[in-house]
Amino acid sequence: MKRKVTKAIFPVAGLGTRFLPATKSIPKEILTLVDRPLIQYAIDEARAAGIKEFIFVTSRGKSALEDYFDDAPELETSLRKKGKTQLLEELKATNMDSGAIAYVRQNRPMGLGHAVWCARRLVGNESFAVILTDDVIAAEKPCLQQMMEAHAETGGNIVAAMEVPHDKTSSYGVLDVSEDMGSLVRVKGMVEKPAPDVAPSNLAVIGRYILTPKVMQNLNKKKEGAGGEIQLTDAIAEEIRNDNPVYGFRFRGQRYDCGSKAGFLQATVAFGLARPDLRDEFSDFLGDVVAMRPAAE
């Protein structure tokens, strides 16, 4: 019987320079998508997938993340006195039990692989998930939950994957596919940020992973890859060379790159229109904006 994956790593040490000056004082992961910060979407997805232990790889200036998941007694008391029960319930949903979240520091920005490696002692000899908060995925069934169900059948390592335009492959880790089984593909190689003319496919790795402890052992070697950084992709690719299974999983859902300003704005529109309490007013506003553009031109 395969052991369930109950630990997830959230690499949140990045400086968020693409969102300066906002991120001068606010961690990028606290930026709000409608009325919830990016990190909340990631935590909710992990919870839905059965994750019980949450490991944050942080850096200096990220204390607001720790505060966000803590109890807020004064605020809760105020809401209770005012009879704002709905808001109180929403607030309580952001609280995490004592001990459920652990924090480790990444002292230097040495790549995603290095950030994951920083959590090695907390993961131990168990399979684990990795969630990148920049990738927000709108899906009827949360992406990581879809992957967990597939992992229960396959074991091994699974990475979330989606087709991207060929001219965008240099922005992603790209899969070299040996067998296409529909939602699952068996992987024979992975290339980090290949130029379009040498990319083995246009099937790109997106920020969700379920990995075996052997990947963490590969990261222990601290091999530098693309950009002089320790790449998670390289550690996973080493498993393929060692004849250990690696799969790509075509998830069902829409991914938004909230690490870019354009992607963040797109996600804001999509999530705003999905909200019954905002849809009508927001839709009318967007319709007016679209109508105004031709007139302005």
Cβ neighbours for 85, distance < 8 A, ≥ 6 positions apart: 79
How much is the pLDDT for 295? Answer: 59
- Summarised one tens digit per residue, pLDDT across range 267-280 is 999 999 999 999 99
Structural domain including 200 reads 7-259
- Summarised one tens digit per residue, pLDDT across range 177-197 is 888 888 999 999 888 888 888
The whole-angstrom separation of Cα 236 and Cα 182 is 21
How much is the pLDDT for 292? Answer: 80
pTM: 0.89
- Domain-located, residue 170: yes
- The segments of the chain whose pLDDT lies below 50 read none
The sign of the dihedral angle between the CA atoms of 183, 246, 226, 8 is positive
- Domain-located, residue 289: no
- Domain-located, residue 107: yes
* Matching residue, tokens 């924090």: 103
How much is the pLDDT for 226? Answer: 61
- Domain-located, residue 1: no
Domain of 198: which CATH number? 3.90.550.10
- Domain-located, residue 290: no
- Domain-located, residue 208: yes
How much is the pLDDT for 109? Answer: 78
Q: How many structural domains compose the chain? A: 1
Q: Which helix (H) or strand (E) holds 241?
A: helix 232-241
Mapped onto helix, strand or coil, the DSSP state of residue 2 is coil
How much is the pLDDT for 142? Answer: 96
- Domain-located, residue 283: no
Q: Which DSSP symbol is given to 64?
A: H
The whole-angstrom separation of Cα 144 and Cα 130 is 9
